[in-house]
Structure 1
């Protein structure tokens, strides 16, 4: 771990600054939209726009990088991010914010693709798993830290929009000045959705459902907090609780997934998350109960993504894993676009509790579908189960392919060790 940190600290620092900027702007817009008098549905459109841009960027960025190179793409897209962040308070209108969120989502996706390909290039077969873990920790630290910055200035002013703009601008320096050489870049053509569904219906349906649940958390939590009457410090702690829960639960659930039927674990984790969301609906005005519910929902929904990818890998040949990851990301992106829109519609109809209602319905539906799939075919044998690789739901195709490469490397290493032990006998 220290070796990876020593060789890639500049890249990881730049990525953390990017995550702080992204995490702050998402929460800030939810709070500022309430102050500007935007309706819940208007804010749901604004929040959904980010995921539409992100999905488009993840599919177009690889071609942009192949055409003009990593450095130009990174610098250009990061500059657009910095500019849009400054423009938000200048043009405080739902239409302007929606356009800005599309641009921001597209640019962040392209920046992540660029930085993650550098990270993959800096890693070796021996430390790729550690690099992946460090990257996820950096992402979580960035998002959680961002919530604390929400308290340093008045959200009705300009300062909180300037801070993420500056952080994104500063992130250029450690990445562009310290990363060398520029890596070669290539991505695999995504597997068709029909083929992906035929291989693993649970993974295909699961990541679509999960996209909606995650985007509701990431996009609408601050809107919910404002409508529920939470103070600014409470909103900050509330949103941070989702990611603290995800960080705590990721590795214990990963350990369990390598030792039991992953479908059963998916069922249990999704059910716990759904029950946590229901408890939040019943919590009333108890802020402690809301924090606990946020940790439960975050600690179940985020690891579910890695569990679903790992389960799909159990039925894939190593050479097909990278192609499957493209289809998984596309299904997740479609769900993410729909999530804030449906959440906003439900919150408009039944009030703030619609936020939790929507998440509860999605997670319980996933648990029910996992139970159904357990009746349709047997679980893969232990020797055909791949390793669990932690991946954030905001991952781009590059990050997921890095995870897939680590799974393949791990499987090949275990196969070589088994063969060596057999030869000794």
Structure 2
């Protein structure tokens, strides 16, 4: 593991700093927007705008990299991210923030595509698994660290906006100054969305619904906390709980998914998410029950992303798996765009409790659809190449392709021994 880290430390350090900046600005905007008097509806548009940019960035970034290379894309997108971050407190207007969030989402998507393709090309068959694990770890560490930094200054001031701006700027230094050669770039041609829907209706519906739930966590959790009257420290702890629980639950659920009908596990995990949301809606006035709700929702909904990709792979040929990954991420992105808008509307109608009600509705709907799909066709036993590979929902479409390369290499190595 140390040898792998020594070869990829620049990229991994840069990505961790980027995640600190991204996680910090997402939570901070929710808190600052409430202080500025923005309505819940206005803030939901601001939060949704990030995913609009992210979706378009995931489609355009590969062509940008092919035309000008990894280094130039990194430098250009990084400078734009820093510029937008520092502009937020100077233009306290929800529409200006929405435009900034589109730009931020586009840039972060491009950065993730660049970093993940670079990481995949830099890894060998022997190091790919460790490299992917380290990448997921540093991403999670970055997001959790971001929540801790929010208590360092008053969210009504400028300092908390300067910190992510500086961290994002610094994140590119180790990457751009690294002596590692930049790789060539190639992407697979994705399957059409209609083809993927025919192959795995549950996978597509599940990705759409989990996209909405993830967006509620990433974009609206801080707004919920502000509307519920939580302190900045409590909001930070609440948001961090989603992601810490996700890390704890990913690998046990992955182990289970390769040993049972994935549809049953998807239904069970979705049920746990829904129950957690009900606890948050009914008992959220008590902070400890609120944290329990965050743990249940985050620890079950985030692993669903990997479970749904693995389930879809059960019905794909090896050559189509990476191609389908891009389409699945695209479907997830559409759900993420709609998520904050729906949450904002529901919170505007019924108060903070609408946040958890939205999550409960989506997850119980997924439970029902998973049970229905069990009656439509028999399950398939996962082969070694179909096994679940841990991928977080805030990565680009390159991460599932990276994970699939790992599964392919492992299966081929197993056949050759």
Q: What is the DSSP-based 3-state SS (H/G/I as helix, E as strand, rest coil) of the residue aligned with 2:386?
A: coil
Per-residue deviation, 1:179: 5.0
Q: What is the DSSP-based 3-state SS (H/G/I as helix, E as strand, rest coil) of the residue aligned with 2:105?
A: helix
Q: Could you report, residue by residue, the CA deviation over 1:52-96 in whole angstroms, capped at 9, with x for unpaired residues?
A: 000000000000011111111100000000000000000000010
Per-residue deviation, 1:358: 0.3
Find the counterpart in structure 2 of residue 60 from structure 1. Answer: 60
Find the counterpart in structure 2 of residue 422 from structure 1. Answer: none
**Equivalent residues in 2 for 1:2-401, closer than 5 Å:** 2-383=2-383, 386-401=386-401
CA contact (8 A) 2:322 2:404 kept: yes
CA contact (8 A) 2:385 2:410 kept: no
Q: Distance in 2 between matches of 1:383 and 1:398?
A: 22
CA RMSD after TM alignment:
1.0
Per-residue deviation, 1:284: 4.0
Per-residue deviation, 1:189: 1.6
CA contact (8 A) 2:385 2:411 kept: no
Q: Distance in 1 between matches of 2:238 and 2:386?
A: 35
CA contact (8 A) 1:48 1:337 kept: yes
Q: What is the DSSP-based 3-state SS (H/G/I as helix, E as strand, rest coil) of the residue aligned with 2:177?
A: helix
Q: Distance in 2 between matches of 1:214 and 1:130?
A: 26
Q: Which runs of 5+ in 2 are unaligned?
A: none
Per-residue deviation, 1:365: 0.9
Per-residue deviation, 1:221: 0.3
Q: Distance in 2 between matches of 1:285 and 1:354?
A: 14
Q: Could you report, residue by residue, the CA deviation over 1:206-243 in whole angstroms, capped at 9, with x for unpaired residues?
A: 00110000001100000000000101100000000000
Q: Distance in 1 between matches of 2:63 and 2:361?
A: 38
Q: Distance in 2 between matches of 1:277 and 1:15?
A: 31
Runs of 4+ more than 6 Å apart: none
Per-residue deviation, 1:258: 1.0
Find the counterpart in structure 2 of residue 420 from structure 1. Answer: none
Per-residue deviation, 1:51: 0.2
Q: What is the DSSP-based 3-state SS (H/G/I as helix, E as strand, rest coil) of the residue aligned with 2:226?
A: helix
CA contact (8 A) 1:49 1:337 kept: yes
CA contact (8 A) 1:11 1:179 kept: no
Per-residue deviation, 1:385: 6.6
Q: What is the DSSP-based 3-state SS (H/G/I as helix, E as strand, rest coil) of the residue aligned with 1:92?
A: coil
TM-score, normalization: structure 1?
Answer: 0.96
CA contact (8 A) 1:150 1:160 kept: yes
Per-residue deviation, 1:350: 0.7
Q: Which runs of 5+ in 1 are unaligned?
A: 418-425
